[in-house]
Chain A
Amino acid sequence: MSAKPAPCEPLIYDYGRPGRGAQSQWPAAEAAPPAIPAALRRAQPPCLPEVSELDAVRHYTRLSQLNFSIDTHFYPLGSCTMKYNPRACNAAALLPEFLGRHPLASARHSQGFLTCMYELQELLKEVTGMQGVALTPMAGAHGEFAGVAMIRAYHRSRGDLARNEIIVPAAAHGTNPATATMCGCVAREVAVGADGDVDLEALRTALGPQTAGIMLTNPSTLGVFERRIEEVARLVHEAGGLLYYDGANLNAILGKVRPGDMGFDVIHMNLHKTFSTPHGGGGPGAGAVGVGPRLLPFMPQPVVGRSIEEGAAHFHWLGTQELPQSIGRLAGFMGNAGVLLRAYVYMRMLGRAGMSRVGEFATLNSNYLLKRLQQAGFTAAYPQRRASHEFIITLKPQLQEQGVSAMDVAKRLLDFGFHAPTTYFPQLVPECLLIEPTETESKETLDAFVAAMSEVLREAATTPETLRTAPHRMPVRRLDDVRAARELDLAHRPAS
């Protein structure tokens, strides 16, 4: 009989003692009690930690040490673009004047900030080939919402009320159909061919007077370029629909191809992917949207405008008055300003030549890694295609022969000090790993990853049980997610 193992790190509450507190953080007490009517007064103080500052700092520092992160590990998560987050971007965003500026500050105290925002709009327009950019959506999914809402608004403005279907390839990210529903539309799936491109026949069948538009990622979620995109654009436009570009994979083609040139009417960008703002353990992101001429009037507000006053450039917000057909406001203020500043600094550092180097080296690293993994015995899902910035390998052969799944391989990779690639997405490819190295990783890192993957493959053949019970060297072993869902423990309840 063994004692139950202790948690890696206690809860912050466990450090608490009655009366303890980080009192150098407390404002001085006021002489008079606050004037709150008795019926509205809180009877019991909220149950929050009572800890010293040192205990809080130790606790959260120790928690950080339980994480994998880009700063500590190679993190080849497909479709997430885990590239290095330059610290200069953070330093600039944390300048006290930017940090302390109220969102509703007067124009006089906003010109520096608004100049950066305006220039960011212009840089994003140029690199994507779009005519307008709005910065307020706060994540990719939020940008998707804006995009589909604009498409809907466009058709409505032309009296075309029957158009409520959004076509989505079968391989699409789950946010796409979820977004269609949020916009009051219906998602309609079209098949993807064995070569990874959208099935044009299926597309022709799906198109009609009910088509509002199509949502595409290019390169697609299968890691390959949609070769007949110009044909797809022509078919959709001829049917009266619009094209939406999901920018999750923009890193593959940054500086090499522009969505606007491919015929897309509206795009969203994931600034926390392509433009290297920090992932932060789940955000904050920024999902700026770009539009072609048809959708310019519908952009979400506010957008930064530029005028000339007394011979000098002056920047200001454009709202309902200037954008009367706008789909409206999507954020409490103007979105994730701090994230936008970081993206702006990143783009200024890359500059013109740097943009295309991103696409080139992301693609080089991806194709190199794919080739080496194939040589090591892994099966590519689309071996006849060029990899974009990411590619898929399928572990179905290993599953069938040795009973080892993609999840098992992913968990075992953690023991080798690599964060696993994306698993089980896209859902179209069984037992897949979607691998995206990004351009900021060196050849040595990629080679080390191949060595680890080869070792895992060997283990799959000789000691598959090692994989099935992996990880073994992490702070915790494999966690029981069935129990987590059946016996919900979602908050610490203090002993009364």
Chain B
Amino acid sequence: MSNVPGDLHYARSHEWVRELPDGSVEIGISDHAQHALGDLVFVEAPAVGRTLEPGEACAVVESVKAASDVYSPVGGVVLAINEALVKAPELINQDPYGAGWIWRLRPAAALAGAGLLDASTYAAVAAAG
């Protein structure tokens, strides 16, 4: 039974999106995803300033048993990445929706048209495995 906060948007590929007051968004991977991966050992985040397409594979999260691509749920420009993950990738395991955020983005288009899932829809996706 994984944690799925109600105030976030989700992608089918297990990323979450948080809208920030200044119009940018924060992105990370879900509790379900971090649990499936196991203890994370390394995170490769997209470069600041890079323009991402919606659905583009732009980051890699690596555990002992897997290295998974992370897909950008929305398109836009990368504003910042979470430097704390360099020394402490386990933040994603400990706090996937808070301290484990991976990057912030200025979306190129309104979120409404991005096909994101709400919490209950995503919870069903995650439960189905």
Which residues of A are at the interface with B, using a C-beta cutoff of 8 A? Answer: 424, 481-482, 485-486
Cβ contacts under 8 Å, A481 to chain B: 64
Jot down 15 A-B pairs with beta carbons below 8 A, ordered by A.
A424-B65, A481-B64, A482-B38, A482-B39, A482-B41, A482-B63, A482-B64, A485-B41, A485-B42, A485-B62, A485-B64, A486-B41, A486-B42, A486-B89, A486-B90
Q: Mark B58-74, 1 if CB is under 8 A from A, else 0.
A: 00001111000000000
A482 to B41, CA, bound (A): 7
> Smallest CB-CB separation from A481: which chain B residue?
B64
A32 to B48, CA, bound (A): 58
Cβ contacts under 8 Å, A482 to chain B: 38-39, 41, 63-64
> Smallest CB-CB separation from B38: which chain A residue?
A482
A486 to B64, CA, bound (A): 9
Cβ contacts under 8 Å, B64 to chain A: 481-482, 485
Total A-B contacts with CB atoms under 8 angstroms apart: 15
Whole-angstrom distance between the Cβ of A166 and the nearest chain B Cβ = 20
Cβ contacts under 8 Å, B38 to chain A: 482
Whole-angstrom distance between the Cβ of B92 and the nearest chain A Cβ = 13
Whole-angstrom distance between the Cβ of B111 and the nearest chain A Cβ = 32
- Most chain B CB neighbours (cut-off 10 Å) among A424, A481, A486: A486
> Smallest CB-CB separation from B41: which chain A residue?
A485
Cβ contacts under 8 Å, B90 to chain A: 486
A481 to B38, CA, bound (A): 12
> Smallest CB-CB separation from B42: which chain A residue?
A485
Cβ contacts under 8 Å, A424 to chain B: 65
A160 to B64, CA, bound (A): 41
Whole-angstrom distance between the Cβ of A174 and the nearest chain B Cβ = 12
Cβ contacts under 8 Å, B42 to chain A: 485-486
Cβ contacts under 8 Å, B41 to chain A: 482, 485-486
Interface residues of B in 24-68 (CB under 8 A from A): 38-39, 41-42, 62-65
Cβ contacts under 8 Å, B63 to chain A: 482
A397 to B9, CA, bound (A): 35
Whole-angstrom distance between the Cβ of B47 and the nearest chain A Cβ = 23
> Smallest CB-CB separation from B88: which chain A residue?
A486
Whole-angstrom distance between the Cβ of A411 and the nearest chain B Cβ = 15
A486 to B39, CA, bound (A): 10
> Smallest CB-CB separation from B65: which chain A residue?
A424
Question: Other than the known A424-B65, A485-B64, what 13 A-B pairs have Cβ atoms closer than 8 Å?
Answer: A481-B64, A482-B38, A482-B39, A482-B41, A482-B63, A482-B64, A485-B41, A485-B42, A485-B62, A486-B41, A486-B42, A486-B89, A486-B90
Please give me the 10 A-B residue pairs with the lowest Cβ-Cβ distance, nearest first.
Answer: A485-B41, A482-B39, A481-B64, A486-B41, A482-B64, A485-B64, A482-B41, A485-B42, A486-B89, A485-B62
Cβ contacts under 8 Å, B62 to chain A: 485
Whole-angstrom distance between the Cβ of A468 and the nearest chain B Cβ = 15
A424 to B41, CA, bound (A): 20
Cβ contacts under 8 Å, B65 to chain A: 424
Cβ contacts under 8 Å, A486 to chain B: 41-42, 89-90
A486 to B63, CA, bound (A): 9
> Smallest CB-CB separation from A487: which chain B residue?
B41
A172 to B18, CA, bound (A): 38
Q: Mark B64-107, 1 if CB is under 8 A from A, else 0.
A: 11000000000000000000000001100000000000000000
A403 to B29, CA, bound (A): 26
A481 to B65, CA, bound (A): 10
Whole-angstrom distance between the Cβ of B74 and the nearest chain A Cβ = 26
- Most chain A CB neighbours (cut-off 10 Å) among B38, B41, B42, B62: B41
Whole-angstrom distance between the Cβ of B91 and the nearest chain A Cβ = 12
Whole-angstrom distance between the Cβ of B55 and the nearest chain A Cβ = 18
Whole-angstrom distance between the Cβ of A431 and the nearest chain B Cβ = 13
> Smallest CB-CB separation from A407: which chain B residue?
B65
Cβ contacts under 8 Å, B39 to chain A: 482
> Smallest CB-CB separation from A484: which chain B residue?
B64
A485 to B39, CA, bound (A): 10
A424 to B66, CA, bound (A): 12
Cβ contacts under 8 Å, B89 to chain A: 486
A481 to B41, CA, bound (A): 10
Whole-angstrom distance between the Cβ of A406 and the nearest chain B Cβ = 12
A486 to B42, CA, bound (A): 7
A192 to B64, CA, bound (A): 27
A328 to B64, CA, bound (A): 37
Whole-angstrom distance between the Cβ of A373 and the nearest chain B Cβ = 26
A400 to B113, CA, bound (A): 41
A122 to B66, CA, bound (A): 42
A313 to B42, CA, bound (A): 59
A65 to B127, CA, bound (A): 47
A113 to B43, CA, bound (A): 51
A359 to B33, CA, bound (A): 43
Whole-angstrom distance between the Cβ of B89 and the nearest chain A Cβ = 7
A71 to B65, CA, bound (A): 30
Whole-angstrom distance between the Cβ of B36 and the nearest chain A Cβ = 12
A437 to B111, CA, bound (A): 56
A482 to B89, CA, bound (A): 11
